[in-house]
Amino acid sequence: MILIIIITYNSEKWIRQCLNSIQSELLDYSILCIDNNSSDDTVSILKREFESVILISLDNNLGFGKANNIGLKYAIDKSFDFVFLLNQDTWLAKGCLESLRHQYIINDLKGILSPLHLEPSGNNFDYVFESCIRDSLSREILSPFFLKDIQKKPIYKVGFVNGAAWFFSLDVLKKIGGFNPAFFHYGEDNNLGQRLNYHNMSFYIDPTARIFHDCPQVAKRTYQDIRSQAIRDYSDFLIVLSNPKYSFIYNLREVCVILFSDFIKSLLPFRAKAFKRILFISFYIFRNFLIIRSNFYKSLFSGAFIDSNDS
């Protein structure tokens, strides 16, 4: 039995296509939608048009990670065999879920399996997905291609895949735990990937399974203001601080070195925007320091952040 977890927030644009694409799958599954207090018609669409979907409507926006943790705990409590985390702005190609389950079982995987992520047209990889797998697959795919020795594999091991479509077993979930609640919207999948590696497990790609992802296909981040940029960049520093591969003191030292270097660069010559950005990031780290440190040590244990008290 598979539990498909979808976190929704103002997703009326995508939710019908997402859920309809799942319904063609010939497997035993349940769909759990956890809504982060949407202000559009998402909840009413789910209630009116998808009665078989299990819906949890939250009173406030918990963010991607905390909301997913509710679903992950549900998966454990109800003893599902597998979990499939799926973004609200995606939809499945036919047979995607069946292929993921099949490859996970026959290859006896211990880790996270992902389909290929395509942009909506289906003509190219999703930009974020491609940037994640580029280095990992260059040797396994590009080299054989140019050497005229292509041998397609059933699965490919990669360093990391962004969390738009993750398939994994309940045993893996109980080992790596849920998302670190110190993250709100960005970086939580990176950190869970770090903890996957910490527990000696890996990411894999099933090249026969595909999803379409309707997200911006751009390389450069754009921000409304300095504060928005600082919040996004804070998540990048949080990824460094939360990496279980190294000690917390080592991670903290790395962050301090980077911040100090950026601070000096903002002064010579003086750049007001860069200076404000460093101040904002430093403030966020200082304000949340005790939580960041506490969650770092919690993350070292199996099943971290699944219990509601951890979130």
Q: What would the pLDDT profile of 146-156 be if each residue is shown by its tens digit?
A: 555 545 678 98
Mean per-residue pLDDT over the chain, rounded: 91
**Which candidate, 215, 268, 261, places its Cα nearest to that of 237?**
261
pLDDT bucket at 135, cuts 50 / 70 / 90: confident
- What pLDDT score does 25 carry? 86
Please list, in sequence order, all residues whose beta carbon lies within 8 angstroms of the beta carbon of residue 245, skipping any fewer than 6 positions away. 194, 197, 198
pTM of the model: 0.92
C-alpha–C-alpha distance, residues 182 and 32, integer Å? 23
Please list, in sequence order, all residues whose beta carbon lies within 8 angstroms of the beta carbon of residue 207, skipping any fewer than 6 positions away. 116, 152, 153, 154, 155, 156
Listed as own residue / partner, the contacts of 216-220 with beta carbons closer than 8 Å and 24 or more positions apart are: 216/127, 217/119, 217/124, 217/126, 217/127, 218/127, 219/127
Q: Is the pLDDT of residue 76 over 90?
A: yes
C-alpha–C-alpha distance, residues 134 and 125, integer Å? 11
Q: What is the pLDDT of residues 295-305, one digit of tens each?
A: 999 999 999 99
Q: What is the pLDDT of residues 15-28, one digit of tens each?
A: 999 999 998 888 99
pLDDT bucket at 220, cuts 50 / 70 / 90: low
C-alpha–C-alpha distance, residues 227 and 155, integer Å? 41
- What pLDDT score does 26 carry? 82
C-alpha–C-alpha distance, residues 4 and 71, integer Å? 9
Would strands 82-87 and 165-169 be described as parallel, antiparallel, or unpaired? antiparallel
Mean pLDDT of 271-288: 93
Mean pLDDT of 40-46: 97
- What pLDDT score does 149 carry? 53
- Low-confidence winner among 221-225, 229-233, 236-240 (lowest mean pLDDT): 221-225
Express as a percent the part of the chain with pLDDT over 70. Answer: 91
Mean pLDDT of 23-47: 95
Mean pLDDT of 268-292: 93
Mean pLDDT of 113-117: 96
